[in-house]
Amino acid sequence: MLKKSLLFAAGLLLAFDQSALANDRYQNRPPVMVSPSLSAPWVIQLQGSGRRVVTYPTRQMPAPRQQAQPYYRGLPVQAGAQRRRTLLGGDMPAQVQRASVPRAAPMKTQIDPMYLPQVVNYETKEKPGTIVIDTNNRFLYLVQANGTARRYGVGVGKPGFEWAGTHKITRKAEWPDWTPPQEMIAREAAKGHYLPARMDGGPENPLGARAMYLGSTLYRIHGTNAPWTIGNGVSSGCIRMRNEDVTDLYERVGVGTKVIVI
């Protein structure tokens, strides 16, 4: 009985000593070393648990060093520019040139003032009221009395489509429709330009505001939707005028007027 009591007492003493040692072991807990970010949830939990939290100081990274601007003979040299050696043996900085891209020529929208209507001296044997078209100089003359004529600028046939002859005006039309000839449609289609079989009259119509048909031919004196072409050889043989000019001429002549193309 005495032996059992002694063993029990020894067990209690051993348990007490181990508990004391355990309490002593964790009485002064070592600090927890964490990163500078104190906003992380697990760091906040540590701060509320009685544990001492020590943070590492934030390390400041040095600012990048700026490279000194290289100079050559007192003048700054562009960074990265390669040097080239001149015939004199000295180092010279390479010249960087921008690529030169030619700009498209601006679209011409005005005509030369000499092609605007005006009354000029004009000596001819033709009677007043006759129309004479000088295709070389791009002028149309409406003969008047007393050796004068009313002169208009015109566009004429392009190379290969020039012609000359004498006809009469056989028909007049306001804002005429346009029906391109089949040979014109085929010719333009070969170039990649596709013409309509027929186009109603209007501001977009190539015949413009007025048309005066010459004899039984396909040629006409007509207006245009491209007034900047006046003074040039651009048509397929027709005589084109500005819309305001062809309208003025239209009012001054009638069916049966003689037209001479030279």
- Would you name the residues annotated as active-site residues? 222, 238
User: Which residues have C-beta within 8 Å of that of residue 23, sequence separation ≥ 6?
Assistant: none
Q: Which two tokens stand for residue 83?
A: 């040097």
Q: Among residues 236, 253, 242, which one has the least CA distance to residue 209?
A: 242
Tokens read off for 247 = 């309208």
Residue type (1 letter), 255: V
Task: Give dist(CA 222, CA 117) in Å, integer.
Answer: 15
CA–CA gap between residue 187 and residue 147 (Å, rounded): 43
Give the Å distances, CA to CA, from 46 to 36, 51, 54, 101: 14, 6, 11, 68
- Which residue in this structure is represented by tokens 């566009």? 155
All residues at 6 or more sequence positions from 128 whose CB lies less than 8 Å from its CB, including other chains: 143, 144, 145
| Conformation bin of residue 6: beta by default, left when phi > 0, alpha when psi is -120 to 50 | alpha
Is residue 69 within 8 A of residue 76, CB to CB? The reply is yes
